[in-house]
Chain A
Amino acid sequence: MSAQPAAANAATSPETITRTVLARRAQEPGALLPILHEVQDALGHVPREVVPQIAEALNLSRAEVHGVVTYYHHFRSEAPGRHVVQVCRAEACQAMGADALFEHAEQRLGCHAHGGHGSTSDDGSFTLNPVFCLGLCASSPAIVIDERLHARMTPERFDQLIGKLEAAA
C-alpha cells in the first residue's frame, strides 16, 4: 500500500483539519457521517489517528466511530492510490459486459479486487473499487475515474482514459 503524500505542515495536518471540521459540525444532530465525509474529502481518507479525536468531540467511544468508518463502503482508513477508479458491477452494467470490463480494469491497472472491496496497485498509481450502481443504467457499463463519470465504456476507451492519466503523471 503506497502512502499518499501526507499533509505537509501543521496547518493542514489531519488533526488540525479534523479539529476545524469538529468545531463547525460537532453540535449538529447525528453529526458523525457529515463529519467523516468532510474529513475524507479533505484528506482522501479517514486516518486512524483522528478516530479518538472525533470520538471525544462527539462523546462516543472509539469503537463506535471505528464501527461507522468500517461499516460504510465509502469511507476508507487507508490512503488511496493517486487515481481512484470505480467500475460498476451491478446488474444493468453486467447486462452490457461489466464483468469483462472489470477484469480488464484489474489487469490494466494491476489491481486485484475481491468481493466488495477495492485494491491499490503496487506502485500506488491506482485504486480500483467495485461500485454497485452509479445511476447510469441506461448508458451502461459505467465507471468513475477521480469523480468524473464515464458511460458506455469499452475496454478500448478505458485504456485511452487511463493512458491519458499516465501520460499526465
Chain B
Amino acid sequence: MSAAPITVYVPRDSAALAVGADEVADTLQAECARRGIALNLVRNGSRGLFWLETLLEVATPRGRIAYGPVQPEDVAGLLDAGLLNGAAHALCHGPTEQIPYLAKQERLCFARMGVTDPLSLADYEAHEGWSGLRAALAMPGETIVQQVLDSGLRGRGGAAFPTGIKWKTVAAAQAAQKYVVCNADEGDSGTFSDRMTMEGDPFMLIEGMTIAALAVGATRGYVYIRSEYPDAVATMSEAVVRAQAAGFLGDDILGSGRSLHLEIRKAAGAYVCGEETAMLESLEGRRGIVRAKPPLPAIEGLFGKPTVINNVISFASVPLILARGAAFYRDYGVGRSRGTLPIQLAGNIRHGGLVEKAFGISLRELMYDFGGGSASGRPIKAVQVGGPLGAYVPESQWDLPLDYEAYAAVGAVVGHGGIVVHDDTADLAKLARYAMEFCAIESCGKCTPCRIGSTRGVEVIDRIVAPPSSTRNSTRNGPQHNRPQQVQLLRDLCDTMLNGSLCAMGGMTPYPVLSALNHYPQDFGIATPDREAA
C-alpha cells in the first residue's frame, strides 16, 4: 500500500446528508481501514449538483475526479474498480470541474463552494479568503461604501435595493451603537443558496458582514437563521468561534483596533420574519409583527439604532468586490442588474441544483440546458420564479433575460433566484389557492388586507373552481355562483392586497394568484381567457 494518504471528499451539505452522505463516509472509512488504505477524508460543502449527491471526489494528479450518486452499498465496488486512482466506473463523471453543468457556470460568490472544507481557515485563506477584508481595513469607510455602490450590487434577498445606498444611509447616521444584521431567514420554497453558503462557505458571510461593519461603523452584528436549518446554525456558530479565535472577528480585527461581535440567532419558524422589520421584532424578543416604515431600519433599526440589514448572498458578494474591485463585479450582468446571481433550480427538474450565472440568462436555458427538463419526463407547464410570492411564468416568457427590470415589466419577480418547475400535471388553480392559504397561515396579522384577504382569497378560489352544478354553497349567492363575478371579486381582492398591505407578504401573494389566473385560466374552469390588467 502506498504511504501517502489519498484525499477523498464527501460533502457535508444537508442536501447530501439527506441522501446518506454520512453513511457513505462511514462505509468508505470502514472499507479503507479493512483494506489497510490510508485515507484523508475531507467533508467539503456541496458543488450544488444535487441529482449527483452523494457526490464523492478523489484527488488525483489529473485533478479531482467525481463519482455520483454514490450509495453506501456502492463503496466497496468503487474501491475494487480503482476509485482512489480516479479509475473509470459507471458512476464516474471525470474531472469535476469539467462536468458541463459546473463548467458552464460563472461562479464568483460560489467559487469555493464544494471545493473547500467549510470550517478550515487555512482552506479559506488559500482560496482568496479574507483578501476583501484586508483591502477594506486599508480604506476609509466611505471608500468601502463607494466600492459597493460602484459594483452595482443590489439586495439579493428579493427586493433588489442597491446595497451601497443602504450602507451609505447607515454610515451617515449618528449613533453611539450601530448594527449589522444578516437576514438568513430563507423561507422561500425553491431557494437554498443561503443555506449552502452558511453550511459550505461560512467565513465568506462573516467576511462580508465584517466589511459592512467597517464601512458603516457598526460593532455588533447578528445572523438570524431559520430554525429549519439546524446544520447552518451549527456550522455558522462554529465558524464564528474559529474566526474570532483567529482574530478576524472580536475586539481587534487583524490588529486594526476595529471590532465586531457577531452572534448567531435561531429563528422559530415564522415565514414573515424574512421581512426585515418583523425580523427585527423577533431579534428583540417579540412576536414577528411587521413594523410600519418609516422609520427605515437604516435610521432606526435593531433596538432603535441604525442597522444594515442584508441577505446572506448580498453580504457574501462583498468580499470579492473589495478583493477584485467594483469594476470586476459590475462587468457581469445586464442593464441595471449587475454581477451574478446564484440561481436555484428546484421542484420537478431532472438536474436540480445551484447555477451561478451573470444576470441575463433565460429560463429556457436554465431549465433545459442546465436542468435537462422535468424530472418526471413530462412537459413543463409552469415555473414559479422568486419564491411563494413570485409569479408563475408561462412558456411565452421563458426567453426573457433574467433581469430585475425585464421581470418587473411582465408582472414577475426575480426575487432570491429560486426557480420551481412544475410539469403538466400541475393544477394552477390549486397552486393559486395554496398561495392564499400559505398567506393565511403565515400572515403576521397586523394589516387587514393580508390577514383577512388571504382567507377570503381561499374561499373565492374555492367558489371559482367549484363545478357549475354544485349547490353546496347555494345559500349565500343564489343557486350557483356566477363564475365571472367571482373572478372579478378575486381580482378586486388581489388589487386591495397589492395596494393596501403593509409588506410583501400580503402585497405580493397576488403575484402567483393573478399570474396563474391570467396565464392558466383553463385550470380555473374559465374557457375564454379573462385578461384584464394583471
Contacts and interface: CB of A to CB of B under 8 A. Distances in A.
Interface in B268-282: 268-271, 282
Interface residues of B, number: 59
Interface in A72-97: 72-75, 90-96
Interface string B34-45: 000000000000
A167 B446 CA distance: 47
Contact of A75 (B18, B186, B265, B268): B268
Given A95-B423, A139-B18, A33 B268 contact: yes
Given A95-B422, A137-B346, A73 B269 contact: yes
Interface residues on A, range: 35 or more
Given A95-B348, A151-B15, A137 B189 contact: yes
Contacts of A73: 268-270
A5 interface: no
A136 B354 CA distance: 11
Contacts of B187: 132-133
Contact of B190 (A33, A68, A137, A151): A137
B495 interface: no
Contact of B347 (A30, A68, A74, A91): A91
Interface in A54-82: 58, 64, 67-68, 71-75
A33 B267 CA distance: 8
B292 to A, nearest CB: 19
20 contacts: A32-B286, A33-B285, A34-B266, A68-B287, A72-B270, A73-B268, A90-B438, A92-B190, A94-B431, A95-B421, A95-B423, A132-B441, A136-B14, A137-B344, A137-B352, A138-B345, A138-B346, A138-B349, A142-B18, A149-B14
A138 B191 CA distance: 9
Nearest to A72: B268
Interface stretch (B227-235, B498-506, B521-529): B227-235
Contact of B189 (A33, A91, A150, A152): A91
B347 A95 contact: yes
Interface string B349-372: 100111000000000000000000
B373 to A, nearest CB: 13
Nearest to A151: B18
> Looking at A71, A73, A92, A96, which has the most chain B CB atoms within 10 Å of its CB?
A92
Contact of A116 (B267, B285, B441): B441
A30 B283 contact: yes
Contacts of A71: 270, 287-288
A133 to B, nearest CB: 5
Given A73-B268, A138-B353, A33 B347 contact: no
Given A132-B438, A135-B186, A140 B18 contact: no
Contacts of A68: 285-287
B192 interface: yes
B282 A92 contact: no
B284 interface: yes
B285 A115 contact: no
Q: 7 shortest A-B CB distances, which residue pairs? A: A138-B352, A90-B189, A32-B285, A137-B346, A72-B268, A95-B347, A74-B269
Contacts of B271: 132
Contacts of A36: 268
Contacts of A37: 227, 266, 268
A61 B431 CA distance: 41
Given A31-B285, A90-B438, A92-B189, 20 more contacts: A30-B284, A32-B285, A32-B286, A34-B266, A37-B266, A68-B286, A71-B287, A72-B270, A91-B422, A92-B420, A94-B431, A94-B434, A95-B422, A95-B426, A96-B347, A132-B441, A132-B442, A135-B228, A136-B15, A140-B346
Contacts of A131: 228, 269
B142 interface: no
Contacts of B268: 33, 36-37, 72-75
Contacts of A94: 431, 434
A147 interface: yes
B210 interface: no
B53 interface: yes
B384 A33 contact: no
A102 to B, nearest CB: 12
Contacts of A58: 285
Given A32-B286, A67-B287, A135 B19 contact: no
A91 B426 CA distance: 11
B50 interface: yes
Given A95-B426, A135-B191, A72 B352 contact: no
A17 interface: no
Given A30-B283, A137-B189, A139-B53, A91 B420 contact: yes
B366 to A, nearest CB: 12
Question: Which of B284, B347, B422, B437 has the most chain A CB atoms inside 10 A of its CB?
Answer: B347
B17 interface: yes
Contacts of A151: 15, 18-19
B431 A139 contact: no
B188 interface: yes
Nearest to B383: A95
Nearest to A153: B18
